[in-house]
Structure 1
Amino acid sequence: MWADLARRTNRLVPDASVAAVTDALDYLCLAQLYLRDNPLLARPLTPGDVKTRPAGHWGVCPPVNRMLAALGPLQAAVPDGYELHVLHGAGHAGPSAHAHAYLTGRLGHAHPHLRQDAAGLHELVTGFPLPGIGGEITPLIPGHLHTGGQLGPALAIGQGTVLDAPHRLSVVLIGDGECETGTTAASWLAARALHGTGDHGTVLPVVLLNGLRMGGPSVLSTLDRAELTAYFTGLGHRPVYSDGLDIGQLRQAVAEALGAAQPLGIPGPSSVLVLTLDKGHGAPAPLAGTPAVHKTPLRNPADLPAEFDALADWLASYQPAQLLTSSGRPRPHLLPALPPPRPEPGCLPAPRGCVAASAQVAAHAAGRPFAQVVPEVLRARAEQGPFRVFSPDELASNRLDLTDERGCPVPWAVEVLSEELCHAWAQGYTETGRHALVATYEAFAPITLSLIQQQLKHRSVRRHAGLAPLPSLVYLLTSLGWHNTFTHQNPSLTTALLADGDPTLHVLTPADPGRAAAVLTFALRKLDRCTIVVADKHTAVHHPLETLDEELRHGIAIWPHLTHPGPGEPDLILVSAGDMPAEALTSLAQRLRTERPGLRLRYVHVHDLTALAEDGARPLALAPDAFARHFGTQAPIILATSGHPADIHALIGRRHPGPRLTVLGYRDPGRPVSQEHLLQFCGLDEPGLWQLATTLTDLPKGIPA
């Protein structure tokens, strides 16, 4: 369909219109970088019209602009029910994205002060980088699923966008420097892992082989044409080449590449378009082909006459008055090559009954092992609509049996041995409105930290732009370090994410498998959150569920079956955060109640670590009276967490109880030790906890365990 559409638009829309759009995009990019007045050169340029400190990036704009212009007629002709997305992987294409959104009118719809009129054009050009919008690609520029400048994951994110979406084409613009990243390198072959996993859309990778990265020649540019063809052929892609100088030939190359493009998951070679236009095309001759074109090739044209003359000639060469009217609108001959503004996607239905549904799951799961109840939750979610599980070859190890009756993997669960690809696929899937889960070893999850942080930044800007909420980013961390080797002990993902302070982050620490099943049900129904579920596959101890509703709603609860009733301050407060800590501390509580019946205990379980945050810092942060109700004002507190103790201290912040709080959690032993020795080293073994509790409550020492 896409190839036929491209060939038809190639016949119907003149190359001259596409070439004019290319020139308009190039001119607007250059003007944004350099001009502080006179945006259409309505009068002779003067040094006073030029920014004294030009900022931004020119180098990637010319090849990006040619692709945006060539795709414009195709975007305009997309029939109802189909979608075409462009993902910018090549870094620093912000001026191109601004210019294109301005010409199509989408920028003015989102930001009325940037509408297509003289004032809007003046603001676009002279205000760059725009206050409150910036100079890079973000969701503040309409239509972008991926924040630009994050090198590496664009191709995999593009693959994620078309999973289970046969109506969708994603064109991914990839810098040749980006091809040096491990995530991009893995993405070419990883498409084979998607064979037989459903009916998917199409990805057209476009490599912008402009020869340079920031500081010098790219590795990919050192390959001659025969080597380049052999390289892409070996990766399972048939390259189609264009230098981008002849717009008609570029449009034909796009149609040819689309004709050879296979829907994702179909065996056999697919296509890649290789655009070899030089970086910073059009820059003055002494600077062309050098790293100087990466940013602003002319560094100080306002003060250096030779640079000013070069800039004036460069700007005038585009004849901007032939491209835009004095009122800032594209001239009529550009319009056939410009897609009309399309509305942003609407809101997903607000989730209802999350707590009730989760409680039902927990009740059904009570007393059953992780390996039974968690896969049940995932299977049930897959029956409700589009849903995907991505895992780095660890489903079986994590006791997540997602096979069918013949023992074959279910098509909606995909494994590939790359945490980055799993995240990027999930990111593309969720950014297009579908739910997904990444399931991985706790120790390997930090590999994706940067990708998670970038997606959270992207989501934060989406909220700032007033865009509709999307399905949550959900991670299940299991195979915890407490039952693993030294090399597989690393709970630092939650530490790093908590330090960022993102208000949508929730770190769920269910106490048992039933609660783990409940929180996954809960997390996979919620919107616009980042939920990290920390649940050990080995946990076998179950706890009463009478406080589950409170745990789900508020992130924390006092467990009455282990708490002495009545008002007043207890003698000791035990607080668990996680399943292993709950097992250890409930055992301690039961022993204290048996051997020290006069000791007044309060038992608290922290279901969501963010409930501990300073008041007002996070949605579930306890108010001062609730904090005192749970943690008292005088009693000693033993708090055990499955993560780093520093997480707890940092969250509590300025209302830290001081020396009456003892936090126990993972400490790196520095060498391989047994599981028993690790617990002992961290103070979470039974004798160590008993000694601590008796010491804090001034009870007699030395009583046999």
Structure 2
Amino acid sequence: MASIGHPAAGPQALPLSPELLHKMDAYWRAANYLSVGQIYLKDNALLDRPLTLEDVKPRLLGHFGTTPGLNFLYVHLNRIICERQTKMMYVIGPGHGGPGIVANTYLEGSYTEIYPNIERDRDGIKRLFRQFSWPYGIPSHVAPETPGSIHEGGELGYSLLHAYGAAFDNPDLIVACIVGDGEAETGPCATSWHSNKFLNPITDGAVLPILHLNGFKIANPTVLARIPQVELEDLFKGYGYKPFFITGDDPATMHQEMAALLDIVYDEIRAIQKNAHENNDTTRPIWPMIVMRTPKGWTGPKFVDGKPVEGTWRAHQVPIADVRDKPEHLQQLEDWMKSYHPEELFDAQGQFKEEFASIAPKGDLRMGMSPHANGGLLLQPLRMPDFCDYEVKFPSPGAVDVEATEVLGEFLRDVMKSNMGHRNFRVFGPDETASNRLQAIYEVSEKRWMAELEEVDTDLDVDGRVMEVLSEHMCQGWLEGYLLTGRHGFFSCYEAFIHIIDSMFNQHAKWLKVTRDLPWRKPIASLNYLLSSHVWRQDHNGFSHQDPGFIDHVASKKADIVRIYLPPDANTLLSVGNHCLQSRNYVNLIIAGKQPAPVWMKMDDAIRHCTVGAGIWHWASNDDGGDPDVVMACAGDVPTLETMAAVSILRKQHPDLKIRVVNVVDLMALQPPSEHPHGLPDEDFDRMFTTDKPVIFAYHGYPALIHTLTYRRKNHDNIHVRGYKEEGTTTTPFDMCVLNDLDRFRLVLDVHLRVPKLAALREEAMHKFTAKRQEHKLYVSQFGEDLPEVRDWRWSGKGSDASALDTGGDNA
């Protein structure tokens, strides 16, 4: 068993000299003192006088329990950085240990450089304390405001994934990742340990996982702290790590043992990398990791009101909680803070004494100032091929069917090829890259794989830049870490199962929102989703794979962060994909089908259409730019197809019916500009959708969202939306539309029911198109495929010039 016990007797065996031991312990005490002060105090920051209730915050918020261990590790990693002059990041899963990371970045000077109002003196410490968990201050957990962080910390389970994402393509970087034992119980964290099967020791950096076992969550023991050490060791050996164990609560002994252990672990990491580089050895190594067991609330009060606190769940948040109600608690708080001997740590002006401050790293080697933790500083633009070169040509709109995502895959292949030398672009997906028709990428880069290979394997390589693993959590977490450290990426997924990472998307979107107001956080590449295998084309998978609700989830976030695109064909998908890859600080959601579908727009018009976000398709309309009887609107590839088919039926049956076709590619264009930057001005929206005519809107997702986006528009009351209404099964493509009333026959019937000039024909239309839908049902039940007239339908409307497009804006 790899473990660390007490060092052998004698000064030669001790890695820390008495002087350095004294300084490191003082540094640790200072971090602990500042951590406790942030939780409790708003004044009297250096205890210049006895504490009073006026010095204590009215609300005591924060988490102390994990913090001393995090502080302990920070000071020891600082020693390694200084002695080895190595680049290191600090990612912590126990995100509520935020006061410790703020304290350490303050002590090293990073915090004051970024926030000059938090000076390194008595007044600065007071402001440091007061802002913590204070209205309009900083959160209690690690957050975007925290220097050196790329991990939000408010939700557990993702730290190790972020760490590995940061290490990919960063060969000089070591990412120390502290995994809390509560966090280790989450599903995403359980799969995260497999990330070592994707880390190339030649081209990537290293991740040092440190499992912090302090035994308790909020109110319960943790699983990994309550199993035998041999079982824990076997678990991590099974994951492919070499675990080192360190346990204790005596500071002097623990300092020496941790210093010795980190020397061993650092040397093992460098030996692995040296062998890989010198011998071009890409054999998957057994990377070291550390399991550190210390008491919960280490150095805090051992008992409060006669009940044990240190080493129990009671230390998790605020160990002494009734300071305002119990005078003895106020005295106990003062005694606790004085136990760190602040008078030894800070001078008369409140500055951290130079003899202790001097042991911190300098410049960019400080973990709080690592440029990797502020990825926009390192971001280089992608080298992009001209997406127009991939245009799908056609003789007339709808005459050619292609798999849109396959066309995009050819573009992404060449994006990958153009950036191979820069190693700053990766594609992520849960075993679905080829399934979503993006397999052209494999022509220039295979899938990353460091585990064993067999003869039947294809498209696997130790240096592949396509990251596939059957865990949406892992793909999302890796990509976030990759983006946050200054690189670019693309994530494709089945539409129904992107919901698995709903909360991860939440956290990233919130991170981006906060960083918009932090000028020192430089913009990073956008998080780009492609959702294919979507709700309308799940012929064999059935109801379980039919869910377009991620759109609604994304749409609920701040307008300056999210973008939602529903390109109707391959050329608009190329235009949208090119734009999204070059954008910054957004979450871009693209929904596009992978099955053969018509191409409607020439590239020049596709670009203009996507730029504005919506437009009138004059070539499909017959209102001649005048006043239409009905607006047929659509958003999404299948809704567009059904709308066009409905229009062809209507134009054939009612040549005098004036129809306007409006296609929406940027969903947020439906909102007013006051609600979203991409919103169409009212005059342009009214010009497209009119102010008083019926609008039959065929939409990819749940209909309610269209009403939410357009409720402020003048013509909202006349908008009738057809979309997914939670009806599905294993059936034909067209039958999915029929089940959800999105089919062409239902749309035609809707026009009859809502256009006044067709009122006399409503009963006839009801019989006719109800019978047509019934004919369809009987046919698919008997033959297992759609009616020939549906399968073989092509657009044949007069006026097939696809350049006839009106985007509604003068500057389109």
- State TM-score, norm by structure 2: 0.81
Asked if the contact 1:512–1:539 (Cα under 8 Å) also holds between the matched residues in 2, the reply is no
- State the alpha-carbon separation in 1 of the partners of residues 685 and 149 from structure 2: 41
3-state DSSP class of the match of 2:442? coil
3-state DSSP class of the match of 1:521? helix
- State the alpha-carbon separation in 1 of the partners of residues 98 and 552 from structure 2: 32
Which residue of the partner structure matches residue 358 of structure 2? 336
Mark the CA change 1:178 to 1:349 in structure 2 (over 3 Å): closer, same or farther. Answer: closer
Asked if the contact 1:89–1:149 (Cα under 8 Å) also holds between the matched residues in 2, the reply is no
Mark the CA change 1:78 to 1:506 in structure 2 (over 3 Å): closer, same or farther. Answer: farther
Mark the CA change 1:600 to 1:128 in structure 2 (over 3 Å): closer, same or farther. Answer: same
**Residue type at the aligned position of 1:276:** R
Which residue of the partner structure matches residue 538 of structure 1? 595
Asked if the contact 1:197–1:412 (Cα under 8 Å) also holds between the matched residues in 2, the reply is no
- State the alpha-carbon separation in 1 of the partners of residues 391 and 151 from structure 2: 36
Deviation at 1:74, TM superposition (A): 3.1
Deviation at 1:47, TM superposition (A): 4.3
Asked if the contact 1:68–1:100 (Cα under 8 Å) also holds between the matched residues in 2, the reply is yes
Asked if the contact 1:178–1:184 (Cα under 8 Å) also holds between the matched residues in 2, the reply is yes
**Residue type at the aligned position of 2:687:** R
- Among 362, 376, 379, the residue aligned to 2:391: 362
Asked if the contact 2:168–2:199 (Cα under 8 Å) also holds between the matched residues in 1, the reply is no
Asked if the contact 1:279–1:294 (Cα under 8 Å) also holds between the matched residues in 2, the reply is yes
1:259 aligns with 2:298: no
- Among 445, 463, 466, the residue aligned to 2:498: 445
Which residue of the partner structure matches residue 77 of structure 2? 71
Which residue of the partner structure matches residue 810 of structure 2? none
Asked if the contact 1:557–1:606 (Cα under 8 Å) also holds between the matched residues in 2, the reply is yes
Which residue of the partner structure matches residue 275 of structure 1? 292
- State the alpha-carbon separation in 2 of the partners of residues 468 and 501 from structure 1: 19
Mark the CA change 1:673 to 1:8 in structure 2 (over 3 Å): closer, same or farther. Answer: farther
Deviation at 1:550, TM superposition (A): 2.2
Which residue of the partner structure matches residue 376 of structure 1? 410
Residue correspondence of structure 1 range 496-511 to structure 2 within 5 A: 496-511=553-568
1:685 aligns with 2:691: no
Mark the CA change 1:352 to 1:35 in structure 2 (over 3 Å): closer, same or farther. Answer: closer
Residue correspondence of structure 1 range 550-561 to structure 2 within 5 A: 550-561=608-619
Which residue of the partner structure matches residue 4 of structure 1? none
- Among 609, 612, 616, the residue aligned to 2:667: 609
Query: Once superposed, what is the RMSD of the aligned Cα atoms?
Result: 2.7
Deviation at 1:56, TM superposition (A): 1.3
- Among 408, 414, 417, the residue aligned to 2:459: 408
**Residue type at the aligned position of 2:587:** C
1:14 aligns with 2:20: yes
Asked if the contact 1:211–1:279 (Cα under 8 Å) also holds between the matched residues in 2, the reply is yes
Show CA shifts across 1:380-437 (max 9, x none): 1112322111111112222221334895247111211111111001101111111111
- State the alpha-carbon separation in 1 of the partners of residues 121 and 466 from structure 2: 50
Which residue of the partner structure matches residue 331 of structure 2? 309
Show CA shifts across 1:520-551 (max 9, x none): 22211211111111000014211022531222
Unaligned residue ranges in structure 2 (runs of 5+): 1-12, 277-281, 304-308, 395-399, 447-457, 773-812
Deviation at 1:683, TM superposition (A): 1.6
Unaligned residue ranges in structure 1 (runs of 5+): 1-6
3-state DSSP class of the match of 1:524? helix
Deviation at 1:677, TM superposition (A): 3.1
Which residue of the partner structure matches residue 209 of structure 1? 213
- State the alpha-carbon separation in 2 of the partners of residues 309 and 504 from structure 1: 48
Asked if the contact 1:52–1:300 (Cα under 8 Å) also holds between the matched residues in 2, the reply is no
Which residue of the partner structure matches residue 662 of structure 1? 720
**Residue type at the aligned position of 2:407:** V
**Residue type at the aligned position of 2:702:** H
Which residue of the partner structure matches residue 135 of structure 1? 140
3-state DSSP class of the match of 2:358? helix
**Residue type at the aligned position of 2:391:** A
1:248 aligns with 2:256: yes
3-state DSSP class of the match of 2:160? helix
Deviation at 1:605, TM superposition (A): 1.0
Asked if the contact 1:39–1:126 (Cα under 8 Å) also holds between the matched residues in 2, the reply is no
Moved more, 333-342 or 507-516: 333-342
- State the alpha-carbon separation in 2 of the partners of residues 527 and 581 from structure 1: 30
Moved more, 50-59 or 343-352: 343-352
Which residue of the partner structure matches residue 119 of structure 1? 123
Deviation at 1:285, TM superposition (A): 2.0
Which residue of the partner structure matches residue 803 of structure 2? none
- State the alpha-carbon separation in 2 of the partners of residues 234 and 353 from structure 1: 41
Mark the CA change 1:299 to 1:483 in structure 2 (over 3 Å): closer, same or farther. Answer: same
Mark the CA change 1:18 to 1:352 in structure 2 (over 3 Å): closer, same or farther. Answer: closer
Show CA shifts across 1:491-546 (max 9, x none): 11111111233422111101112222332222112111111110000142110225
- State the alpha-carbon separation in 1 of the partners of residues 340 and 640 from structure 2: 69
- State the alpha-carbon separation in 1 of the partners of residues 301 and 199 from structure 2: 48
Mark the CA change 1:311 to 1:611 in structure 2 (over 3 Å): closer, same or farther. Answer: same
- Among 38, 41, 61, the residue aligned to 1:35: 41
Show CA shifts across 1:452-471 (max 9, x none): 01011111111111221100
1:471 aligns with 2:543: no
Asked if the contact 2:632–2:643 (Cα under 8 Å) also holds between the matched residues in 1, the reply is yes
- State the alpha-carbon separation in 2 of the partners of residues 12 and 446 from structure 1: 54
**Residue type at the aligned position of 1:599:** L
Mark the CA change 1:44 to 1:691 in structure 2 (over 3 Å): closer, same or farther. Answer: closer
**Residue type at the aligned position of 1:210:** N
Mark the CA change 1:145 to 1:282 in structure 2 (over 3 Å): closer, same or farther. Answer: same
Moved more, 140-149 or 340-349: 340-349
Mark the CA change 1:15 to 1:197 in structure 2 (over 3 Å): closer, same or farther. Answer: closer
Asked if the contact 1:163–1:199 (Cα under 8 Å) also holds between the matched residues in 2, the reply is yes
Asked if the contact 2:380–2:487 (Cα under 8 Å) also holds between the matched residues in 1, the reply is no
3-state DSSP class of the match of 2:207? strand
Deviation at 1:363, TM superposition (A): 5.1
- State the alpha-carbon separation in 1 of the partners of residues 201 and 694 from structure 2: 54
- State the alpha-carbon separation in 2 of the partners of residues 165 and 447 from structure 1: 28
Which residue of the partner structure matches residue 396 of structure 1? 434
- Among 420, 426, 433, the residue aligned to 2:473: 420
Mark the CA change 1:52 to 1:596 in structure 2 (over 3 Å): closer, same or farther. Answer: closer
1:220 aligns with 2:224: yes
Which residue of the partner structure matches residue 110 of structure 1? 114
Show CA shifts across 1:219-248 (max 9, x none): 011112222211211111111122363212
3-state DSSP class of the match of 1:605? strand
Asked if the contact 1:393–1:416 (Cα under 8 Å) also holds between the matched residues in 2, the reply is yes
- State the alpha-carbon separation in 1 of the partners of residues 110 and 219 from structure 2: 34
- State the alpha-carbon separation in 2 of the partners of residues 281 and 429 from structure 1: 34
Asked if the contact 1:51–1:302 (Cα under 8 Å) also holds between the matched residues in 2, the reply is no
Which residue of the partner structure matches residue 3 of structure 1? none
3-state DSSP class of the match of 2:693? coil
Show CA shifts across 1:284-315 (max 9, x none): 22222222111111112244232223222211
Deviation at 1:654, TM superposition (A): 2.3
Who wins on radius of gyration, i.e. which is larger?
2
Mark the CA change 1:687 to 1:126 in structure 2 (over 3 Å): closer, same or farther. Answer: closer
Which residue of the partner structure matches residue 158 of structure 1? 163
